[in-house]
Amino acid sequence: MSNDLTTAAGPTPAARPDRASPLRFAAWFAYVLAVGDVLLQFIRCNLTPALETPCRSCLRTDNFFSFSSGHVRRALCGEIMYRLDLAGLPGPFLYALLLALVFLLSYGVLLPVCLRKDRPAALVLIALSPLLPLWLFDRDILVLVPMLYLFARRRTDLPFFLLIAVLAFAHESVLLFYSVFLVQPLYLAIRHRSARNLVRILPVLAAGLVFLLVPARVSHVLELTYWPSRGFPGLQESWLYRFAGNPLGKTISLHLGWLLSVRGLVEWTAVLVFFLLVIATLNRDRMRPAETLWLLAVNTGFFVLTVDYGRYIPVLFAFYTAYSLYAPPLTSNAPSQDGPGGAGRLRLAAAAVASFTVRHRTALLVLLALAVLGPWVTEPDPAPAFYTRVSSWVSRAGEVLRRIGLPLPI
């Protein structure tokens, strides 16, 4: 196996079915309906002239953080909106359109290609679970942009790592989840003194150094004065301003308190099921225990730092699903020759867990569709995911029937 990361491995070609079954057509119809419903809600909420409070949308407070207001972390989106607005262009409107486009490419193109081998029952459960956004997506959707590049180009080249470095300033989680792509180029650069491998990842390393060394001097001038004058008054009062100034230790302590509360423990049931689905997703085609453990560790740390896991689960599901098919292999697929030693037993245990999750993936999807999970740990949704989505479809169908004057069936 080549150690070069330049060309990513694509998915194993699936056998083409003789004909499309009605059940598979119905499953894909449910999937398309779910994606279209989320996109319609996003457009109705975000492409409006004023920001309401509270608003679960891409125009929340922290989306307006900018370099001009002294932020470093999560400052890119707000800075772009500010510069576009100064140039006489509708910055927030264009930003919302960009996120809608990324969502459409991710869930309308990338994820369907990755799920084309799934059984109809799995597709329906994915459509009725939190694996597709139940709430309006935010700039977290930008995490998928480098994966879209990898899907289109099949190359982890310099532009791929430049995307990671730039988007890290939109959301720092980009550095976390794409850190696994840095391991082999860094190893090759050190072992073989390969400048080419080092140059590719230098932008990402530089972005990490900026986060560590450049202090934020937050003023919130734009959020409190400029943007309210431009029709966004909901930014003037927000707990996010206090949160942005918290040291890391205080933030972790606060979040652990939420996670260990009764509400947090209830929602952790869904999170644990999601972790098992991650293991199943990453090991459906090839066994990679080291990568699986690394991504699970990153995911755990990320959930503790954000506690907004209800919003991030669909993005992470799309990321892991695409990663399992298009990421370059970092470990050998050859069977292990280890004896009954500790490493061999650990590898066998990991293989057993992976095999269990793959065999019971449909059951895990059922559990996640029935789980209680809200967008924020402090605001859990009392209804299971499948009920929330189906009731939304029924209410929207009722609105359409009322508008066209047809009698309701109930």
125 vs 390: CA distance, rounded Å: 12
- Please provide the average confidence, as pLDDT, over all residues in the chain: 82
- Whether residue 8 has pLDDT greater than 60: no
The answer to whether 358 and 280 have CB atoms below 8 angstroms apart is yes
Q: Domain check: are 90 and 28 in the same one?
A: yes
Q: Domain check: are 385 and 303 in the same one?
A: yes
In a domain, 13, yes or no: no
Q: Which residues pair with 379 in a beta bridge?
A: 376
Q: Span 251-260, mean pLDDT?
A: 76
359-386 pLDDT tens trace: 899 999 999 999 888 777 666 667 888 9
93-134 pLDDT tens trace: 999 999 999 999 999 999 999 999 899 999 999 999 999 998
Please identify which residue in the block is written with the tokens 């109809």.
Answer: 120
pLDDT value of residue 408? 60
Least confident window among 20-24, 46-50, 102-106, 137-141: 46-50
State how many domains the chain has: 2
pLDDT value of residue 137? 87
Q: Domain check: are 129 and 173 in the same one?
A: no
In a domain, 409, yes or no: no
Q: Among residues of the chain, what percentage have pLDDT more than 90? A: 38
pLDDT value of residue 394? 87
pLDDT value of residue 217? 86
3-state secondary structure labels for all residues of the chain: CCCCCCECCCCCCCCCCCCCCHHHHHHHHHHHHHHHHHHHHHHHHHCCCCCCCCCCCCCCHHHHCCHHHCCCCCCHHHHHHHHHHHCCCCHHHHHHHHHHHHHHHHHHHHHHHHCCCCCHHHHHHHHCCCCCCCCCCCHHHHHHHHHHHHHHHCECCHHHHHHHHHHCCCCCHHHHHCHHHHHHHHHHHHHCCCHHHHHHHHHHHHHHHHHHHCCCCCCCHHHHHHHHHCCCHHHCCCCHHHHHCCCHHHHHHHHHHHHCCHHHHHHHHHHHHHHHHHHHHHCCCCCCHHHHHHHHHHHHHHHHHHCCHHHHHHHHHHHHHHHHHHCCCCCCCCCCCCCCCHHHHHHHHHHHHHHHHHHCHHHHHHHHHHCECCCECCECCCCEHHHHHHHHHHHHHHHHHHHHCCCCCC
Q: Domain check: are 105 and 252 in the same one?
A: yes
230 vs 85: CA distance, rounded Å: 9
- Whether residue 54 has pLDDT greater than 70: no
pLDDT band for position 47 (50/70/90)?
confident
Q: Domain check: are 147 and 159 in the same one?
A: no
Which token pair is 308? 């907004």
385-408 pLDDT tens trace: 898 888 888 888 887 788 787 766
In a domain, 7, yes or no: no
Final residue before a domain boundary, out of 170, 192, 214: 214
pLDDT value of residue 337? 45
203 vs 217: CA distance, rounded Å: 23
Measuring CA to CA, which residue among 279, 331, 316 is closest to residue 5? 331
In a domain, 9, yes or no: no
In a domain, 304, yes or no: yes
Final residue before a domain boundary, out of 214, 244, 263: 214
pLDDT band for position 302 (50/70/90)?
confident
Phi first, then psi: what are they for 76, rounded to 5°? -65, -45
pLDDT value of residue 212? 85
In a domain, 92, yes or no: yes
The answer to whether 326 and 391 have CB atoms below 8 angstroms apart is no
Q: Domain check: are 191 and 306 in the same one?
A: no
Q: Domain check: are 108 and 172 in the same one?
A: no
Handedness of CA 268, 273, 277, 280 (dihedral sign): positive
Q: Domain check: are 150 and 271 in the same one?
A: yes
Q: Domain check: are 41 and 95 in the same one?
A: yes
Least confident window among 34-48, 51-65, 175-189: 51-65
Q: Span 56-85, mean pLDDT?
A: 88
pLDDT value of residue 342? 55
pLDDT value of residue 142? 95
| Residue-range definition of the domain harbouring residue 389 | 23-154+215-330+339-395
Q: Domain check: are 387 and 361 in the same one?
A: yes
pLDDT value of residue 361? 92
In a domain, 207, yes or no: yes
pLDDT value of residue 354? 85
pLDDT value of residue 378? 64
Q: Among residues of the chain, what percentage have pLDDT more than 70? A: 84
- Whether residue 347 has pLDDT greater than 90: no
Which token pair is 297? 């560790």
Q: How far apart are the first and last CA of the chain?
A: 62
Query: How many Cβ atoms are within 10 Å of 244's Cβ, its own excluded?
Result: 20
Look at phi and psi of residue 307 and say left if phi exceeds 0, alpha if psi is from -120 to 50, else beta: left
- Whether residue 333 has pLDDT greater than 60: no
Measuring CA to CA, which residue among 394, 402, 333, 389 is closest to residue 35? 389
Q: Span 71-99, mean pLDDT?
A: 93
160 vs 392: CA distance, rounded Å: 38
Q: Domain check: are 244 and 185 in the same one?
A: no
192-240 pLDDT tens trace: 777 888 888 999 999 999 988 888 888 888 988 899 888 887 787 777 7
The larger pLDDT score, comparing residue 190 to residue 336, is at 190
The larger pLDDT score, comparing residue 91 to residue 55, is at 91
Final residue before a domain boundary, out of 169, 193, 214: 214
Q: Domain check: are 184 and 291 in the same one?
A: no
pLDDT value of residue 20? 64
